[in-house]
Amino acid sequence: MHNIPPEWIEQLDALTAETEGELESVDEQRLLDQIAHADPDLVAFLVEQLAAQESPQAAAALETLAASAAAPEAVRSRARAAVDELTSKGITAPPPGEDRFYAGWAQLGRERGEQILILGWRVPTGKLEALVFLLDWRGDGLKDFYRTRDLTSAEWRELVEHNNQKGAPLVVISLAEGRGLLDAALAESRRFSRPLPQEYKRESRLVDRRVFQASAPVTHSRSFVSPDLSPEDIVSAYVAALHFRDYALAAELLAREHPLRAGHSLAETPTSLHTALKHAPRRREEVQTQRASGADDGEAIINALGSEVRIEPSGRRIENPVRERFTLRLVSRAWQIVDITPQS
């Protein structure tokens, strides 16, 4: 048995009071309220204790923890793993009285231009339903959508694993983070005047109830850019973002001290980028990169050769080379652009 710090006792009593009892559903809101004010290490300890209980009530509490935006990401991931462990032993949460958010997954690789978003609910029958979205950040916004029904736990895992093999891994997200991604994709659809998928239109009331009415807007979105991109990859992704006018991605690849981000939050930077670049010639997506200095000291310099297309008043298209020197710095184990200098 772990030695429980004295300051945890009162908080632990309050938390366990919400996760014990008969097989009816956990009082989710009360549990989430307790989590929001509890010591994160205590919440992680509670996950381990629940996993050891091997009961339907514990599975329900773990599902709630795994889906909670109030819980730290590490706690959510461990709770999700514990739910999977219990499920493999045939222990699942009791059927809820109404739809209960079960889990969310989003694809890394934001720089690839497309991203899969999966949001799942446990429904009163005890089965699982998923809403699956394909987000296109290069012109379509919400590109595709479908809804699954009556999934078993095994079928849910197959759905996640199938999508986990589509070019980039999936990571666990909260419902609020899922709403943030969907909000942004719908904004892109409006910006480019793209029609929404027919099935999304048919299920729009369900999406509104499960996603938009059930969660507050996310206040800070994590990065979904692949964490292992090289400096050359970052430069190529930045130039491609300019080509597709994906200013949200371009902003994310810039370090805080870059002049285009100076004085702006990450949420504000895409607008400032759009203002600064809206009259600039269209960049070509392709760019050649060559490292000019090593990255052993956490800094790299990349020479890049690309091109831009300028339209003259006569309508004639003129393509000109673009030579730039990118300075990048390793920030929290990810490369970011701190300076872009034009070269003659």
The pLDDT, as a whole number, for residue 224 is 94
- 317-331 and 299-311 as β-strands: parallel, antiparallel, unpaired? antiparallel
Give the pLDDT confidence score for residue 33 in this predicted structure.
62
- DSSP state, residue 294: -
Cα–Cα distance for residue pair 41/63, rounded to 1 Å: 18
Query: Which domains are assigned to the chain?
Result: 6-88 (no CATH), 100-212 (no CATH), 231-342 (3.10.450.50)
Distance CA 68, CA 78 (A): 12
Q: Between vectors from CA 44 to CA 9 and to CA 162, what angle results, nearest 5°? A: 155
Per the model's pLDDT, the better-predicted residue between 174 and 5 turns out to be 174
Q: Tell me the DSSP string of 191-234.
A: HTTPPPPHHHHHTHHHHIIIIITTSPPPSSPPP-S-TT--HHHH
Return the structure tokens found at 167.
Answer: 């070019």
Tokens of 309: 């297309």
Cβ–Cβ contacts within 10 Å for residue 314, how many? 5
Tokens 């938390």 sit on residue: 15
Between 333 and 249, the more confident residue is 249
- Residue 109 clears pLDDT 90, i.e. is over it: yes
- Does residue 125 register a pLDDT over 80? yes
Helix (H) or strand (E) holding 42: helix 40-53
* Mean pLDDT, rounded, for 161-176: 89
The Cα 264–Cα 266 span in angstroms is 7
Residue 77 pLDDT greater than 90, yes or no: no
Question: Is 18 a residue whose pLDDT tops 90?
Answer: no
Averaged pLDDT for residues 255-270: 84
This prediction has a pTM of 0.79
- The rounded distance, in Å, linking the Cα atoms of 81 and 77 is 6
Over residues 141-166, mean pLDDT:
91
234 and 328 in contact (C-beta within 8 Å)?
A: yes
Take residue 124 and report the two structure tokens written for it: 């009163």
Q: What is the mean pLDDT of residues 307-333?
A: 90
- Could you tell me which residue, 166 or 297, shows the higher pLDDT? 166
